[in-house]
Structure 1
Amino acid sequence: MKSSFVALAALAVFATPTFAQDVPQAVKARQGQFNIMALNLGILGGMARGSVEYDAEAAQAAADSLVAVSMIAQPALWPEGTDSMSIDGTRAMPAVWENIDDVMAKWSGFGEAATAMAAVAGTGKDAIGPNMGALGAACKACHDTYRAPE
């Protein structure tokens, strides 16, 4: 029994896909920030749709997390050569680096939308919906131009 457990543990450690090891740290970091954004947008979106019961504390925490992510300095997360044509494991299109000022302006727009959401998220379910539209538009503004489809 012990040897089976040890064998399984070793398999889990050594069978890690090489893909995860080959993605540059900057890509992992920016994908991590987008995962945090998706998680918190999901919480707020669920509350806005009514599929998740409104909870003022959880709504405020989710909105505050979006603001915190929006404050992460972006330049280090976008080194040249980390686009979808250069490496596997990213959907960032080469146009990001051709228009990095526009990408950063759109990131600022996300920060403004997140800040607006944080100002009202804890005040009631009805305040979340209108702000979800602005957050979605901020995300879409970048995704439409700079993110490759799955």
Structure 2
Amino acid sequence: MMQISTTRSFLLLAALTIGGAGIAIGQTEVPAAVKARQGQMQLQSFYLSTLGEMARGNIDYDADAAQASADSLVAIAAMDWDPLWPEGTATSEVEASRALPAIWTDAEGYAAAWDAFGTAAAAVQGVAGGGLDGLRAEMGALGQSCGGCHDDYRVSND
């Protein structure tokens, strides 16, 4: 009789542990996606800032650093970021999120904005290491691609 009670207790404890882990996974899944996409945006900002500071003359132009930054932006644009945008992670649903619901209600528009970023990043990649003039010529379109997405799909800093 004691054996059955111990087995039942063990099974109950195991079920509670597994169930609790499932709940914990469910609770951390959405915040992990938000944190990951915030990391993505921080990386984009870092590399874009490097290029922008060179283009504005605030830091010395460095062909290798410019090329590496542009290459990194293209790599970011090429990654599959869909898993970072699960439904239920808009700013109204997750406090840490700055994503507007339009990302999900206008998925085609958001995808087009992301594609515009990738196209602009590729154009910068093609000239970044070749001189400051080429970099400056392409930075406007890259900045506009970022701003256009932020205008429609992100809560403003203001």
Q: Give the TM bin, normalised by the shorter chain.
A: 0.7 to 0.9
1:65-122 deviation line (CA, Å, top 9, x unaligned): 0000001112111100100000111110111110112111110110000000000000
- The residue aligned with 2:43 is 36
- What is the alpha-carbon distance in structure 2 between the residues aligned to residue 144 and residue 33 of structure 1? 18
- The residue aligned with 1:140 is 147
- The residue aligned with 1:124 is 131
Structure 1: gaps spanning 5 or more residues? 1-20
**Residue 69 of structure 2 corresponds to residue 62 of structure 1:** yes
- The residue aligned with 1:76 is 83
| TM-score in terms of structure 1 length | 0.83
1:17-51 deviation line (CA, Å, top 9, x unaligned): xxxx7961111111111101100011001100111
CA RMSD of aligned residues (A): 1.4
Pick aligned residue for 2:103 from 83, 96, 102: 96
Matched-pair identity in %:
49
- What is the alpha-carbon distance in structure 1 between the residues aligned to residue 90 and residue 51 of structure 2? 30
- What is the alpha-carbon distance in structure 1 between the residues aligned to residue 30 and residue 143 of structure 2? 27
Please say which structure displays the higher CA radius of gyration.
2
**Residue 4 of structure 2 corresponds to residue 24 of structure 1:** no
Equivalent pairs counted in the alignment come to 130
CA contact (8 A) 2:30 2:86 kept: no
- The residue aligned with 2:53 is 46
- The residue aligned with 2:14 is none
CA contact (8 A) 2:90 2:97 kept: yes
- What is the alpha-carbon distance in structure 1 between the residues aligned to residue 81 and residue 29 of structure 2? 21
CA contact (8 A) 2:74 2:122 kept: yes
- What is the alpha-carbon distance in structure 2 between the residues aligned to residue 130 and residue 58 of structure 1? 17
CA contact (8 A) 1:57 1:122 kept: yes
| TM-score in terms of structure 2 length | 0.79
